[in-house]
Structure 1
Amino acid sequence: MWANDLPTRALKRSRQRKDDDSEHAGRYYDNRFDAMAVKVAPGEFVATGEDVMLVTLLGSCVSACIRDPRSGIGGMNHFLLPDAGLSAPGNDSARYGSYAMEMMINELLKRGARREHLEAKVFGGGAVLAGMKFGNVGERNCEFVLRYLQDERIPVLAADLGDIVPRRVHYFPRDGRALVRRLPITDREAVRDEEVRYLKQIRQQPKAGSVELF
């Protein structure tokens, strides 16, 4: 069942997004929603003023959906690590959750959004990787994203965080709608395996200067 804007609950694949989202490889037409859609993969973000639907699949990962309701400019990111504590030694924490947030917010402002108008909805952080040597990544992601938005004084209008289930999120930045489907527990293993592969990949990436673009 889809949940529309659920109330707040308790708690380089990396590459730079092109300004023209129409060229993004994850763009497709979704017949069910009668809408153009853009998939947001781990380590990516989309910031857009277009009338599109942003889609992502989350396990332990978190997505922040942020928009300026007055301009209709908004976006979605998708990150697995809140900081560098789970990465290779010597990495800068800004390369992960905080960088994913900063880069997307800066891109929204570049496109015409106003910081004082921004609002957020946040999703994910399920205990999909719990019990593994990486620690409870989902819980740390939940804590990080809520703290970051509080520090930046961006109100969180809705959230669906934690638990043990993966989620599929559809976000419409033009009007702010967010649809969340909690996937069956049978999908948990496939999502976990994908996140473990991605986590191992970014742990092995060499440090390339002071920043790494998502």
Structure 2
Amino acid sequence: MYSDFNASPEANHYFDRYFNCNAVKILPGEFYATSNNHLIVTVLGSCIATCLFDPVNNVRGMNHFLLPRDDMEKSALLCESARYGTYAMELLINEMLKLGARKNQIVAKVFGGGNVMKGLIHNNVGQKNVDFAFEYLKNESIPIIASDVLSDYPRKVYFFEEGGLVRVKKIKALHNTTILDRESEYRIKLKNASIDNSVDLF
């Protein structure tokens, strides 16, 4: 199992004064699913956030992941990187199913994959993460109804209860290196991790 891929802990819950609601912030390697009105928030560089929503049962979830290898070919869905991405997606879907979602009713919105990690632009890290997310969702027959991906800037993503609304703030100017440092540390951890292949959908 990737030891750093976990449901978002209680420490990341807070009250968002701007939107006047309870919120939860997820970091790289985390996911969160809910049937309540919590706002789900994350900040993305090269990572991907997949927002999944069952509009019939009002169950939502978001993950935040990065493929650990940057040499993945588009068709190499059985390589270590793709297996990790699959694991990240299955954890989120499983949690949503536990909360009452039906897989055939889930729709997706995909964000991130910006080429923001210094020295990795030539490897198209963001593009490969986006390609994986789109291909996985296509293979699982989960329709993508909206996306905002690639380019060269980080994004802050807000996932609301009302109709699965997602708002994206494009961060055109970085005032510190927190986002890049966090993703770089996360990337190093992933390269040294092993994967648990025992996750099943039910």
Q: Is the 8 A contact 2:67 2:82 kept in 1?
A: no
Q: Is the 8 A contact 1:68 1:74 kept in 2?
A: yes
Q: 1:127 aligns with which of 104, 115, 128?
A: 115
Q: Is the 8 A contact 2:40 2:158 kept in 1?
A: yes
Query: Which residue pairs with 1:99 in the alignment?
Result: 87
Q: Does 1:33 align with 2:23?
A: no
User: How far apart, in 1, do the equivalents of 2:176 and 2:131 lie?
Assistant: 21
Q: Is the 8 A contact 1:36 1:52 kept in 2?
A: yes
User: How far apart, in 2, do the equivalents of 1:36 and 1:69 lie?
Assistant: 20
With the length of structure 1 as denominator, give the TM-score of the two structures. 0.79
Relative distance call for 1:194 and 1:27 in structure 2 (3 A) is same
Query: Which residue pairs with 2:190 in the alignment?
Result: 202
User: How far apart, in 2, do the equivalents of 1:171 and 1:92 lie?
Assistant: 29
Q: How many pairs are equivalent?
A: 192
Q: Is the 8 A contact 1:68 1:118 kept in 2?
A: yes
For residues 164-189 of structure 1, the C-alpha deviation after alignment (integer angstroms, 9 at most, x for no partner) is 00000000145201010000233585
Query: Mind listing any 5+ residue stretches in structure 2 that lack a counterpart?
Result: 73-78
User: How far apart, in 1, do the equivalents of 2:133 and 2:176 lie?
Assistant: 22
Query: Which residue pairs with 2:63 in the alignment?
Result: 77
Q: Is the 8 A contact 2:70 2:125 kept in 1?
A: no
Q: Is the 8 A contact 2:51 2:109 kept in 1?
A: yes
Q: Is the 8 A contact 2:29 2:186 kept in 1?
A: no
State the AA in 2 paired with 1:113: A
Query: Which residue pairs with 1:140 in the alignment?
Result: 128
State the AA in 1 paired with 2:146: A
Q: Is the 8 A contact 1:82 1:140 kept in 2?
A: no
Q: Is the 8 A contact 1:124 1:162 kept in 2?
A: yes
Taking only aligned residues, the RMSD between alpha carbons, in angstroms, comes to 2.6
Q: Does 1:154 align with 2:142?
A: yes
Highest relative contact order (Cα 8 Å, sep 6+), 1 or 2? 1
Query: Which residue pairs with 1:7 in the alignment?
Result: none
User: How far apart, in 1, do the equivalents of 2:159 and 2:11 lie?
Assistant: 18
Query: Which residue pairs with 1:68 in the alignment?
Result: 54
Q: 2:6 aligns with which of 13, 16, 22?
A: 16
State the AA in 2 paired with 1:156: I
For residues 33-78 of structure 1, the C-alpha deviation after alignment (integer angstroms, 9 at most, x for no partner) is 0110001110111011111100000000000000100111010000
Relative distance call for 1:152 and 1:27 in structure 2 (3 A) is same
User: How far apart, in 1, do the equivalents of 2:155 and 2:121 lie?
Assistant: 23
User: How far apart, in 1, do the equivalents of 2:43 and 2:179 lie?
Assistant: 8
User: How far apart, in 1, do the equivalents of 2:83 and 2:176 lie?
Assistant: 27
Which SS does the other structure have where 1:141 is aligned?
helix
Query: Which residue pairs with 2:45 in the alignment?
Result: 59
